[in-house]
Amino acid sequence: MDTATPFPQEGTPMCDRNTDVPTPLESFGACPAVTDVLSRVGDKWSMQVVIRLGEGSRRFNELRRIINGISQRMLTRTLRGLERDGLVRRTVTPSVPPRVDYELTDIGRSLWKPVSELGAWAVEHRQVIAQARDDYDAAAQ
């Protein structure tokens, strides 16, 4: 029950809002929670941060160097957002200069798995997708 549970366990309510939707219980597509998690992990940087922190605890500028392309501001905002949702723990060491470490919480680590599988899917299919995209654009001129 741990390796592949495409749908939530019994007893877990599918959705707490939008109960007026004629949603078959076989799906959670209409559940706002799906949209909510995408707002968190689906922005430009969160997923990369989660993947990186899945490798181990990291300092701020360490993440900044590794992620490559992320601005200071966006790294701060992304980490704050993940911290707010309880996915990342922020540890401040009041030294001079200050030291701040970030690491995944238990929930954050549980997110790492589906997120990394989505990342793996992206890597595996990127050429085919790029090709399909080119074909589509070429057909439409």
3-state secondary structure the chain: CCCCCCCCCCCCCCCCCCCCCCCCCCCCCCCHHHHHHHHHHCCCCHHHHHHHHCCCCEEHHHHHHHHCCCCHHHHHHHHHHHHHCCCEEEEEECCCCCEEEEEECHHHHHHHHHHHHHHHHHHHHHHHHHHHHHHHHHHHC
Q: What are the CA-CA distances from residue 87 to residues 18, 35, 62, 65, 104 (Å)?
A: 26, 17, 19, 21, 6
91 touching a second copy, by CB under 8 A: no
98 touching DNA, by CB under 7 A: yes
Of 16 and 96, CB closest to a second copy? 16
Cα radius of gyration (the chain): 19
Applying CB under 7 A, which part among 19-27, 97-105, 120-128, 132-140 lies near DNA? Answer: 97-105
Nearest approach in angstroms of CB 81 to a second copy is 10
Q: Which of residues 94-133 bind a second copy (CB under 8 A)?
A: 107, 110-111, 113-126, 128-129, 131-133
By a kind-dependent CB cut-off of 5 to 8 A, residue 110 interacts, out of a second copy, DNA, none, with a second copy
57 touching a second copy, by CB under 8 A: no
Q: Which of residues 67-86 bind a second copy (CB under 8 A)?
A: 67-69, 83-86
**Which member of 51, 74, 89, 103 binds DNA (CB under 7 A)?**
74
27 touching a second copy, by CB under 8 A: yes
Give the residues lining the site for DNA (CB under 7 A). Answer: 39, 43-45, 59-62, 69-74, 76-77, 79-80, 90, 97-100
